[in-house]
Amino acid sequence: MSDPLYPPFFRVQRRERLVICLSILAAVILVNILFLVNGYTLISSHLYYIPILLFVIWFGRKGFYLSLGIIFFYIVSFWILIPDNSAMDGTLLRALVMISVALIISFLSEEFIKNFSGFNALFRNIPAPAVNMDKSGRILDANDKFADLIKFKCPDVKGLNVLELDLFSGENREKIHNSIKKCIDGEKPEESVISSEIVTPDGIKKYNLLFIMISQNQKNFGFIMAFHDLTDILSAKSELLRINELLDNIISFLPVPAFAMDRDHNVTHWNVALENYTGISAGDIIGTRDAWKPFFKKKTPMLADLIIDNNGRDAELFSYQSSAFGRNGIEETRYFNNTDGINDIWFRMSAELLKDNDGNITGAIQVFEDITGLKKTEKELLESRELYREVVDVNSEYIVRFREDHTITFCNEAYCKLTGKNPDEISGSLFGHDMCGEDISVFTDFYSSLTPDKFSGSVEYRAVLPDGGIRWIRWDIVAFFDEYNNVREYQAIGRDFTDQKNAVDYLLKAEKKFRDLCDFLPQTVFELDIKRNVVFLNKRGCNKLGYSPDDLKKGLGFLDLVTPEDHNRALDNIVLSSYGQELGIRYSMKKKDGTLFGAMLFTSPIMRENTPVGVRGIVIDLSSVEEPDAAYDLSHNLYIENLKESLKEKETLLKEVHHRVKNNLQIITSILRLHSYNTSDQGLKDILQECYNQVYSMSMLHEKMYRSDTLSDVDADEHIRSLGTYLINEISARGADVGFLTDIDPEIRFSLDKGIPLSLMLNEMITNSLKYAFSGENPGQITISLKKDNSNNYRLIYSDNGCGLPEDFRIEDSDSLGFELIINLAEQLDGNLDIENNGGLKYIMIFPVQ
């Protein structure tokens, strides 16, 4: 009972109580004996009340048992010391009264101790800081929560006046102090619940609700203060306000349309972007349930309404896509055509629930993404894809696209014919399912070799056709990687090379027969590769020249077989022979040991796919021929005839080259024109038209080249006049009347090296003049002059009478692609370019003839 919550009388330690009781009992016994000896029986009996009351008050029920012993001792001592039996009746009566008083007091003491123990337990276990004070404000006790709050130990604050701790701060500090002073003065405070701000010794502010409780018997017990910590609550409230403000700011300033509603479907937020789309201000719609009105002609629930009513994306909303916001959201793409609101717009809409910290639904937010442009692009993409498929389907090569797991996503008509299936049957099947089992490992190794740095390659396999036939297919495969270096898709272009494969096998067999046959010939037979290395020498040749097959493997050049005097002539003849000329030439041949002998060499080219890959020849030893000069004259005449025939063949070949280049360029111009027709973007149309004109100017040059007599150059005057006339008719300078004059020396002719860059330069100059120089008010004039001066240079002057360039224009500072192209082409011609800007624009360029 030493707890300070008890009254002072009960705070004496148990051992001290026992000593006090026994001391008093001993004193009472001595005094009682003296009184009894002297005959004062009544006074001696009253003295026994003192130890009896102390025992029952301090020790309760145990004290009552001790009191019974004291009373028994009282009766015995009275009976021994006072033998007069007439007084015994009074003694027994007093003893009975003592027992009754001890019983009543022990019961009251037990109840008192029990009540104070319950109060102590209650005070100790209050879940909030609490402090108990006497009526003077002196702290009797404090629980552990209060000690944690003020960062002191409980024994350190006991005995201190609560006002001395200087706990309180803030605007209510004086109010709290006044209430405590009223309690100390024995008055009831005006406010017993006060919000307080406490600053702990380490400087941390704590916000509390202070409860001041006065005991029923204030004079004995004082009063209690309890604190309810509001710091976390206030912080949470502040955080909630901040989050609501942040949500309001986020929705208000989102660049995409958005609104929010509460759980009762009342609109709470309507951002500026949505105001611009709907024409309805936030003030007119917030607080209503009319979020649907700008989007639908009749009342229709929005996505936000649906997820509130269905508590998120439940089974009834399975038809909607999951939102990118989270698992509770839904998403929908929809076309709106409300003439009274949102009209002719595609929106991708997403809605998500809003919840508090306890997971309770507080509302929903819905966001709109305008994808009208995307839908139009998708439509154009589908149209382009159809055009792409049309182009791909007419291709005779097999074109296939497939995923990383080899699932086919696209194939052209040629591949369908190869497999005997339609596109729907092929889509979703595995690429390479038709290959022979022996070739699977080849494909597996090929796929593993592809990396972001080496993303393409070729592979061959045998395809098993539906009819059981086998065809060799060579696939050129490209792997497309994503940003994480994982394969996203493959594209494969295949060609059936079964016939070539069979032809190669046949040629290999034929070559073996040829080599076997050469070994039986009595003359030396040899083959040279394109680098003039000896790659084959029959047995007769090895024996005649003294070389072995190992010498050929180590490297044996044709010049090692002739004398140094014949090296240049041998090189020229080998070149002629490589390009199709069959020759018979006399040389001085040299054996491995240095021995010389005269020989006649008859050579012819080795062709593969119309391409020379080497030379094959026969060596006739003239040392055994009786008339070697006659043989030489015969071979020389044959050389002249073959040279004339070769020249004729080369002229035909050159014509064919120019013709094919012209055709390829025309195909490119056709593709550019087709793309120009299929786009509505005027800027893109202009770019495609410029590319078309540039390619056409080169095509025009090749056409004139293969129609010319020399096949190596074109008439400059004719070509420039044709180019200018074409551009004026094609562009027409917004309807302006433009004249075109040329002053070009008739003997000037250009090869491809100078004709291509000059054509592109003039194309750019004329195009710029037609587009920007002439306003249409006065007739325009373009003049081109090309002369050859005495310094073996060409002098080109291009001029127009248009508006010219701005006065502060500097070609070096210009970012125009046209001017940059003109400058680069002038450098390619090794020319010096000057520009004059007076009464129109004039280019002057001097460049060498050679």
| Shared domain check, 733 and 839 | yes
Residue-range definition of the domain harbouring residue 102: 8-122
The C-alpha R_g of the chain, in whole angstroms, comes to 58
pLDDT for 731 beyond 90? no
Round to whole Å and give the CA distance between 196 and 226: 11
Which amino acid, residue 300? Answer: T
**Residue 68, domain member (yes or no):** yes
Q: Which of 199, 229, 259 is the last residue of a domain?
A: 229
- Phi/psi at 741 (nearest 5 deg)? -125, 145
Judge whether 368 and 277 are in contact, CB under 8 Å. yes
Which amino acid, residue 432? Answer: G
| Shared domain check, 841 and 796 | yes
| Shared domain check, 183 and 138 | yes
| Shared domain check, 255 and 343 | yes
At residue 220 the predicted structure's pLDDT band, cuts being 50, 70 and 90, is very low
Question: What pLDDT is stored for residue 631 in this prediction?
Answer: 46
Mean pLDDT, to the nearest integer, of 105-132?
64
DSSP 769: I
Round to whole Å and give the CA distance between 832 and 701: 24
pLDDT for 595 beyond 60? yes
pLDDT for 348 beyond 70? yes
Mean pLDDT, to the nearest integer, of 325-333?
76
More confident residue, 357 or 476: 476
Domain containing residue 718: CATH number: 3.30.565.10
Owner of token pair 């551009």: 727
More confident residue, 109 or 515: 515
**Residue 311, domain member (yes or no):** yes
SS3 454: coil
Q: pLDDT digits over 641-662, tens only?
A: 555 555 565 556 555 565 566 5
Domain containing residue 354: CATH number: 3.30.450.20
**Residue 492, domain member (yes or no):** yes
> Which of 91-100, 102-111, 776-785 has maximum average pLDDT?
776-785
Question: What pLDDT is stored for residue 288 in this prediction?
Answer: 93
At residue 683 the predicted structure's pLDDT band, cuts being 50, 70 and 90, is confident
Contacts 24+ apart (CB under 8 A), 598-601: 598/622, 598/623, 598/628, 600/628, 600/631, 600/632, 600/635
- State pTM to two decimals: 0.31
SS3 214: strand
Give the DSSP H/E element, type plus range, for residue 261.
Answer: strand 258-262
Per residue, what are the HEC states of 663-692?
Answer: HHHHHHHHHHHHHHHCCCCHHHHHHHHHHH
> Which of 678-692, 767-781, 786-800 has maximum average pLDDT?
786-800
Mean pLDDT, to the nearest integer, of 369-379?
84
Question: What pLDDT is stored for residue 757 in this prediction?
Answer: 85
Question: What pLDDT is stored for residue 310 in this prediction?
Answer: 82
CA separation, residue 354 to residues 311, 323, 325 (Å): 11, 14, 11
Question: What pLDDT is stored for residue 627 in this prediction?
Answer: 47
Per residue, what are the HEC states of 82-142?
Answer: CCCHHHHHHHHHHHHHHHHHHHHHHHHHHHHHHHHHHHHHHHHCCCCCEEEECCCCEEEEE
Round to whole Å and give the CA distance between 698 and 700: 5
pLDDT for 625 beyond 60? no
| Shared domain check, 107 and 79 | yes
Helix, strand, coil fractions of the chain, as percent rounded to 5: 50, 25, 25
| Shared domain check, 473 and 420 | yes
Q: pLDDT digits over 26-69, tens only?
A: 777 777 667 666 666 555 566 666 777 777 777 766 777 777 77
Round to whole Å and give the CA distance between 475 and 461: 8
**Residue 708, domain member (yes or no):** no
**Sheet architecture: strand order including 193-199:** 139-142, 130-133, 223-229, 205-214, 193-199, 168-169
| Shared domain check, 538 and 467 | no
pLDDT for 801 beyond 90? no
Q: Which of 203, 229, 255 is the last residue of a domain?
A: 229
**Residue 683, domain member (yes or no):** no
| Shared domain check, 113 and 40 | yes
| Shared domain check, 361 and 244 | yes
Tell me which residue of 317, 323, 403, 402 sits closest to 366, measured CA to CA: 323
- Average pLDDT of the chain? 76
Q: Which of 317, 338, 370 is the last residue of a domain?
A: 370
**Residue 245, domain member (yes or no):** yes
Question: What pLDDT is stored for residue 663 in this prediction?
Answer: 61
The structural domain count of the chain equals 6
pLDDT for 5 beyond 50? no
**Residue 265, domain member (yes or no):** yes
pLDDT for 830 beyond 80? yes
At residue 221 the predicted structure's pLDDT band, cuts being 50, 70 and 90, is very low
Mean pLDDT, to the nearest integer, of 349-371?
86
> Which of 77-91, 264-278, 591-605 has maximum average pLDDT?
264-278
**What would the two tokens of residue 764 be?**
């750019």
| Shared domain check, 815 and 724 | yes
pLDDT above 90: percentage of residues in the chain: 4
**What would the two tokens of residue 679 be?**
């786009």
Give residues with Cβ within 8 angstroms of 822, minimum separation 6: 761, 764, 765, 833, 843
| Shared domain check, 365 and 258 | yes
| Shared domain check, 240 and 365 | yes
**Residue 726, domain member (yes or no):** yes
